[in-house]
Amino acid sequence: MTSPDSVSLSGMTASEAREFHKLFIYGFIGFTIIAIIAHLLVWNWRPWVPNADGTYATLLDGVQTASTALAPFLG
């Protein structure tokens, strides 16, 4: 049986490999949580599933609404 401090092909000891794995898993979980939050925020801003009438919300709708609201001020 090999000692726990023997070096593997990666150049890390067993304890270093466990520590690296732990940090990698924490980073992956953190990235996944941030990605889920980002997807939820985008879904809240602009849903990507059609409404009941079959239309999608588009950026053009917001531009048209803003332009009609600003039209009286522009003259």
Domain count, the chain: 1
The confidence score (pLDDT) of residue 19 equals 95
Angstrom distance (rounded) from CA 63 to CA 17: 53
Angstrom distance (rounded) from CA 43 to CA 24: 28
Angstrom distance (rounded) from CA 9 to CA 4: 14
Q: What is the pLDDT of residues 26-44, one digit of tens each?
A: 999 999 999 999 999 988 8
Assess if residue 24 is contained within a domain. Answer: yes
The confidence score (pLDDT) of residue 44 equals 81
Q: Which domain covers residue 62, as residue numbers?
A: 14-74
Give the residue ranges of the chain where pLDDT is below 50.
1
Assess if residue 1 is contained within a domain. Answer: no
The confidence score (pLDDT) of residue 23 equals 97
Assess if residue 8 is contained within a domain. Answer: no
The confidence score (pLDDT) of residue 42 equals 87
For 39, the token pair is: 């997807």
Assess if residue 41 is contained within a domain. Answer: yes
The confidence score (pLDDT) of residue 68 equals 79
Assess if residue 2 is contained within a domain. Answer: no
pTM here? 0.56
Assess if residue 3 is contained within a domain. Answer: no
